[in-house]
Structure 1
């Protein structure tokens, strides 16, 4: 909704015009399995005042391979309100190494109210082993419409 000339603007409208930044970091390492699991501590609850808020999320996955596998991958993803988002952070497991892998997402929260964004990790198939370490973290910038 635009602000019209001569309109009285409320504090709530002005507050929603400012982007909000929230961040979360891992509170413990996640030993990856073949099932997506929440990286401990990498969850951000948000409350929006109006429908149509947009978000931009930047994640860094601290991945280490503890047992190499020629073809398997460590994969990190963003989940918004229970729905996995398109785009994956991918780390090959063919070498015993440790890397930070990044990914960026953006989207719209169609309804006002409570929302949760969190990071999950997985190994894409049986074989190999790895950890998503405590340096995994992400930042979400939320912008609401007036």
Structure 2
């Protein structure tokens, strides 16, 4: 964001210079099989002041295997109701295998106003996404 010589600086423009962070942790289990189901509690709703704000999301899914399977479990994010194309994936076949898998997302929020970003998971049978899952979001509104 450039400020021109002689331009009046407003509090609203200065506020957008500082990135804003939000975080939510899962509050319950997501037991498989599920397809693109909300991870309980891992939802953040926030408001942007300007169009074209950039988001960076650090998403973590804590997968636990309770029985054998050879199938792939996955997790990703919904941004304003639209599932994003990239996935964090988990696959194991030994009972009690467990792993926290993460993924980073980046995108643009085309309009100003209220937005919701949440974790969604697709655990297969014998997989659970645990409460150790979380989402951290950083919003940049430098316009």
Distance across 1 between alignment mates of 2:59 and 2:34: 21
Are the counterparts in 2 of residues 26 and 135 from structure 1 also a CA contact under 8 Å? yes
Aligned length: 142
Q: How does 1:68-79 map to 2 (within 5 A)?
A: 68-70=68-70, 72-79=71-78
Deviations, residues 65-110 of structure 1 (Å, cap 9, x unaligned) = 112212x111001110011112101000322211100100000000
Distance across 2 between alignment mates of 1:48 and 1:102: 25
Query: Counterpart in 1 of 2:130?
Result: 133
Are the counterparts in 2 of residues 51 and 112 from structure 1 also a CA contact under 8 Å? yes
Cα drift, residue 132 of structure 1 = 0.5
Distance across 2 between alignment mates of 1:85 and 1:10: 35
Unaligned segments of structure 2, at least 5 residues: none
CA RMSD, Structure 1 to Structure 2 (Å):
1.3
Are the counterparts in 2 of residues 54 and 109 from structure 1 also a CA contact under 8 Å? yes
Are the counterparts in 1 of residues 31 and 123 from structure 2 also a CA contact under 8 Å? no
TM-score (structure 2 length as normaliser): 0.94
Q: How does 1:41-120 map to 2 (within 5 A)?
A: 41-70=41-70, 72-96=71-95, 97-120=97-120
TM-score (structure 1 length as normaliser): 0.92
Q: Which runs of 4+ in 1 moved over 3 A?
A: none
Are the counterparts in 1 of residues 123 and 129 from structure 2 also a CA contact under 8 Å? no
Cα drift, residue 32 of structure 1 = 2.3
Unaligned segments of structure 1, at least 5 residues: none
